Amino acid sequence: MRLFRKKKVQKLPAHAPSRRILFVSHEASRTGAPKIILNILKHFRERCDICCETVLHEGGPLTGAFQEYSHLLDCLNQRGQTRETSARLSKQLRRIVERDGKNVPQLAICNSMESRFISEELANQGIPVISLLHELPSSYTPEDFHSVFSSSRKVIFPVDDVYKAAAEVIRIPVDKTAVMSQGLLDSEFGQRIDRDTARKSICDQFGIPADSFLVLGCGTLDLRKGIDHFVAVARRVADMNLRNEVPIHFVWVGGGPTWTHSLYHYMQLDLKKTGADKFVHFVGEQDNTEPFFVASDAFFMSSRVDPFPCVIHEAMACQLPIVTFADSGGAQTAIQDGAGFVIPYGAYEQAAALFRTLSQQPHVAASARARSLERVHSEYRFEDYGDELIELSESIIGQSIGHPLTSPLAAPKLRVAAA
């Protein structure tokens, strides 16, 4: 047996086991990084005899889910404040660390570069840290990366693309680094809903003709996610719709700023002035995105910078042909070997032509559909990712508690990044 494995799932007890592990998230929004750490928390809660404790920097709609699977020790509620160490933060975290007297947390799993200031403070208080970095270095400074590596026992990158990008900016200590892909968060995603039912409901709700070819985009309404790219391609496709037998409609799922002078506001102006607004539908944040994936015919990953987005795995699970820009993150790795289509960055005309081809020639996408489904369920299983994190956590705890382990540990199945 592993150090703290247990055989079956149990409900969270009134008095949790004494072995404490902290799970740190910068927020509890319905975005990728919080969903990843929540899934990790669930995996540890179900398979380990530990006391799971959560620390949030900010709250959000997933706060209740974090509470369901762990003791939510604190929501620091520092929205809008600079993400950096401070005397106040040090005091808050020391209170958390010492809440059970000498039984301090044996490990902290800190998710996202946005949690770097918490991992730094926890390390200062003697807590071993595993950091999960999902971000590309174009959004952060070399000093930010140095901070994470100096405070962490191990730093996990989700895909080689992200590791290599970071290695171009800073000198990475290879002995602290590994590449592990998180995988499909929900193994049943895309299997619970009938496609015809989902499609009819969505088309009826948003006034989309039933015979349309649906291109899905998903994410927050911002420049990083490339909603301007999404709209630019949609406008070119709208021109083609006049001579295309199958009308192509673009659907974007996700919320964000919509006030006057926001990016969304100007995208809407562009659509209305060019007459393309009848083919583009922004449906806002959705509690359940699965029906939109199931109902669609293709997925457009329009991001400028997106390290290894969870929506790619969800699109693969729904057998959607995926179109993504080169050099924008790890999506191109996920869909390699024929599981999707990678086009030059910003190649709007090429993207538009590809969607028209997919709408008119279904056989072009058939092999990509099959390859995506097979690949996501073989290469990107979240259970494997969670188990590897458990084994890594056991090895670190075994070193830090200072006495021989009761049973030998299997070596963590980590792929160490190449120097």
Report the C-alpha gap between 389 and 224 in whole angstroms: 29
- Bridge-based pairing of strands 71-75 and 51-56 is parallel
pLDDT digits (tens, 9 = 90+) for 269-283: 999 999 999 999 999
Dihedral angle over CA of 64, 70, 74, 76, nearest 10: -60
Inter-residue contact 322 to 301 (CB < 8 Å): yes
Supply 60's token pair.
């959000």
pLDDT value at residue 81: 52
Helix (H, G, I), strand (E, B) or coil at 301: strand
Is 3.30.1360.170 the CATH number for 195-379? no
On the question of pLDDT at 405 being above 80, the answer is no
Given the candidates 3.40.50.2000, 3.30.70.60, 3.10.20.30, 3.30.470.20, the CATH classification of the domain at 20-183+381-400 is 3.40.50.2000
pLDDT on residue 79: 52
Domain boundaries defined on the chain: 20-183+381-400, 195-379
Summarised one tens digit per residue, pLDDT across range 23-54 is 999 999 988 999 999 999 999 988 888 889 99
Domains 20-183+381-400 and 195-379 share a fold: yes
Kindly report the average pLDDT of the chain as a whole number.
87
Strands (E), 160-212: 177-179
pLDDT digits (tens, 9 = 90+) for 115-172: 999 999 999 999 999 999 998 888 899 999 999 999 999 999 999 999 999 999 889 8
State the average pLDDT over residues 252-279. 95
pTM metric for this prediction: 0.86
Task: List, for residues 333-375, the tens digit of each pLDDT value.
Answer: 999 889 999 999 999 999 999 999 999 888 888 889 999 999 9
For the record, the structure tokens of 73 come out as: 């020790």
pLDDT value of residue 418: 43
CA dihedral 196, 201, 204, 208 (to 10 degrees): -60
